[in-house]
């Protein structure tokens, strides 16, 4: 018997130190019971008042999110067998309930009463937007389905949730399962001392001497970018790119069957709702009108990028032969050759740049940048309960001194934490009568941890990643919308949700913004102006290849979901091969199994939506150029905060952009910033 359950406590922040696996199921059962009771109370009323229907539902959803978010987060950053089991069982219970709640016709009818009011058009814009999105949510949850179709839709939802969780777990397990113990330091020739210290720490973690090469991101990047040992690069590249597939040495984590099942169920679910395919369903909640528009956008970019990419590849091949003695350029050589080219042709050495980017300085400089742009201070609060000793919590303090929000930073790669970088919602902003719930976010990265008494030093690309995720965080924290369903990132069209994040990336390339983030790890000198100039000149190095790679992923994702045929199955590798023939200029080996670890579309929210990164980058590039041409002392940032960050989904993304820019988005700035302009 559990006397106290921290997941049910009505506190400003979760007590992570107190949360245990045994709390999860009882908490979820109670959260569902409370939510059901709240919705029942709404449906028993005949009111058509917004305050009697929408607000109680927002309150119920808030309570459910407050209790569940810490569990979902811990599953991503502090995986244990006990938590994984509890999380998996809870996901099934919660998904079943939420699918049923999405088909609650009495609740749907109550919201429809608001929309049918004679004075509906006079309601505040945000209230009408909340009603419209709620009705759309019910429609896409199958509220109109009958009989067997209704039951089948519910069953599919639960099964898809289970498969998505299993897919992500398999990638995490496969990543942790592979490692190579290195006893001879000569094998690590070319890898920096700081990176070797990280590999030594990985070995120590397992009670080994020497060094341990793993598939965690800091290790993979160190080997593929800097190791002179070509065979080692090959082994790491191969292991990383066949993770969770039938090609791996240990195929027990193979995601092949899960991918097939996920695509089949998504297709069936979309057709039950009356859509032709899963891509059509996905695009229903995005800015792009349909898959054809998104694919046309990608095709146009590919046409622009391909000649540039072909030239870049030819240059890389020639350099590899002439300077490195590599007669046949292979994928496991590409990162190594690219780094050598940056050093030789542009005078840009990523390892040198890293010495000017100790993470504590980057954090402090980022906080100062945010204060300058948006008028809020990030103040470290060491008294907050966290899940790992390295986690930092910042209070977000308004100009007047009021704490208006908060954010957790979990920055280092470690066992039990999934790879990549992401932001997630801990708690949304909600003004409920006289109580104000501050928005709280999680910011997660997988940077290399400190080694010994030296701080973690990160790459310039890591700085871009850090600023990117802070863009998402600011979108969530600086909302001025008091309804959780349309505040912050909630309800924002998925192909626009990357706008603030990619907007922030640009500050990594602005001299005045970047220099305060730099301080040499031993001399404390800022990044030299001459080095920054060389970085700037090399900004578009292999830009065509990078854009084509994103286009390849995005096109593959859309075609996989649009063209799925139940009679023949997904044919995932065939689809990918076709896309690569048409788009890519540098083909990976046949055994590459990139899709098997493509968590964005199989274990995340980007299914038939990966194109959103490029789509939103068009918006962000245009917005940043407009910002830069306004008053950089604050005018542009003030408008960006007011019209985009503060508004959330209380207007459409197109309306938000138009309010900021005074016009629709244009592609020119994107082409310039990407180095694709003619």
Q: Please list the active-site residues.
A: 469
Gap between the Cα atoms of 171 and 417, Å rounded: 11
Cβ atoms < 10 Å from Cβ of 100: 15
- Tell me the C-alpha distance between 235 and 545, whole Å: 23
The angle formed by the CA atoms of residues 28, 34 and 35, to the nearest 5 degrees, is: 85
437 DSSP β-pair partners: 430
The CA distances from residue 232 to 174, 196, 321, in Å, are 19, 14, 19
DSSP-based three-state secondary structure for 542: coil
d(CA 106, CA 127): 20
Q: At which residue do the structure tokens 């979990």 appear?
A: 410
Residue 34: name the closest of 57, 13, 50, 5 by CA: 57
Judge whether 438 and 62 are in contact, CB under 8 Å: no
Residues 6+ apart with CB under 8 A from 272: 142, 145, 149, 152, 153, 156
599: Cβ–Cβ under 8 A, 6 or more apart, which residues? Answer: 167, 168, 171, 418, 420
Residue 497 has phi, psi (to 5 degrees) of: -70, -20
Q: What are residue 454's DSSP bridge partners?
A: 451
Q: Is-contact 647 492, C-beta < 8 A? A: no
What sign does the dihedral 231-235-236-238 (CA atoms) show? positive
Q: Read out DSSP for 213-262? A: EESSHHHHHHHHHH---HHHHHHHHHHHHTTTSTTSSSGGG--HHHHHHH
């Amino acid at each position: 018997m559990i006397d106290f359950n921290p997941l049910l406590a009505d506190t400003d922040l979760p007590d992570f130190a107190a949360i245990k696996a045994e709390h999860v199921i009882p908490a979820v059962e109670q959260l569902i019971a409370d939510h059901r009771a709240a919705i029942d109370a709404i449906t028993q009323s005949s009111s058509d008042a917004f305050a009697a229907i929408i607000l109680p539902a927002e309150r119920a959803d808030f309570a459910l999110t407050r209790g569940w978010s810490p569990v979902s987060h811990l599953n991503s950053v502090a995986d244990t067998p006990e938590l994984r089991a509890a999380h998996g069982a809870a996901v099934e219970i919660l998904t079943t309930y939420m699918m049923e709640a999405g088909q609650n016709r009495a609740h749907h009818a109550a919201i429809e009463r608001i929309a049918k009011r004679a004075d509906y058009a006079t309601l505040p814009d945000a209230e009408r937007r909340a009603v419209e999105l709620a009705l759309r949510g019910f429609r896409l949850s199958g509220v109109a389905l009958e009989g067997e179709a209704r039951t089948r839709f519910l069953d599919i939802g639960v099964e898809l949730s289970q498969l998505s969780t299993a897919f992500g777990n398999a990638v995490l397990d496969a990543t942790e399962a592979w490692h190579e113990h290195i006893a001879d330091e000569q094998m690590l020739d070319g890898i920096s001392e700081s990176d070797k210290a990280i590999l030594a720490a990985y070995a120590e973690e397992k009670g080994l001497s020497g060094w341990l090469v793993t598939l965690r991101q800091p290790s993979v990047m160190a080997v593929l970018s800097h190791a002179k040992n070509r065979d080692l690069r090959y082994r790491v590249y191969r292991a990383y790119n066949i993770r969770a597939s039938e090609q791996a040495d240990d195929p027990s984590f193979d995601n092949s069957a899960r991918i097939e099942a996920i695509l089949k169920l998504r297709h069936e679910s979309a057709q039950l709702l009356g859509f032709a395919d899963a891509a059509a369903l996905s695009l229903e909640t995005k800015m792009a009108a349909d898959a054809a528009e998104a694919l046309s956008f990608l095709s146009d970019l590919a046409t622009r990028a391909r000649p540039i990419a072909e030239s870049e590849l030819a240059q890389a091949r020639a350099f590899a032969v002439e300077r490195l003695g590599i007669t046949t350029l292979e994928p496991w050589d590409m990162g190594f050759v690219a780094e050598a080219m940056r050093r030789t042709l542009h005078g840009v050495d990523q390892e040198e740049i890293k010495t000017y980017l100790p993470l504590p300085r980057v954090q402090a400089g980022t906080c100062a940048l945010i204060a300058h742009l948006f008028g809020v201070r990030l103040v470290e609060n060491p008294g907050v309960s966290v899940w790992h000793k390295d986690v930092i919590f910042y209070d977000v303090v308004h100009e007047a001194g009021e704490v208006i929000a908060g954010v957790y930073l979990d920055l280092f790669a470690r066992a039990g934490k999934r790879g990549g970088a992401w932001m997630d919602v801990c708690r949304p902003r909600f003004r409920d009568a006289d109580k104000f719930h501050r928005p709280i976010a999680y910011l997660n990265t997988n940077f290399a941890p400190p080694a010994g008494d030296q701080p973690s030093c990160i790459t310039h690309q890591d700085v871009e990643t850090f600023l990117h995720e802070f863009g998402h965080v600011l979108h969530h924290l600086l909302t001025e919308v008091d309804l959780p369903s349309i505040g912050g990132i909630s309800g924002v069209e998925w192909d626009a949700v990357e706008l603030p994040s990619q907007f922030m990336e640009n500050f990594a390339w602005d001299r005045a913004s970047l220099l305060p983030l730099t301080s040499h790890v031993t001399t404390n000198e800022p990044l030299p102006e001459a080095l920054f100039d060389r970085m700037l000149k090399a900004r578009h190095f292999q830009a065509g290849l990078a854009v084509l790679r994103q286009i390849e992923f995005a096109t593959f994702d859309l075609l996989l979901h649009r063209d799925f045929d139940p009679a023949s199955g997904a044919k995932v590798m065939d689809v990918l091969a076709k896309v690569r023939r048409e788009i890519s200029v540098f083909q990976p080996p046949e055994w590459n199994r990139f899709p098997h670890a493509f968590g964005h579309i199989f274990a995340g929210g980007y299914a038939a939506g990966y194109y959103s990164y490029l789509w939103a980058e068009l918006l962000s590039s245009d917005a940043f150029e407009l910002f830069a041409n306004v008053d950089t002392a604050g005018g542009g940032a003030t408008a960006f905060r007011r019209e985009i960050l503060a508004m959330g989904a209380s207007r459409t993304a197109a309306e938000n952009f138009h309010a900021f820019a005074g016009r629709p988005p244009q592609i020119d700035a994107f082409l310039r910033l990407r180095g694709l302009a003619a």
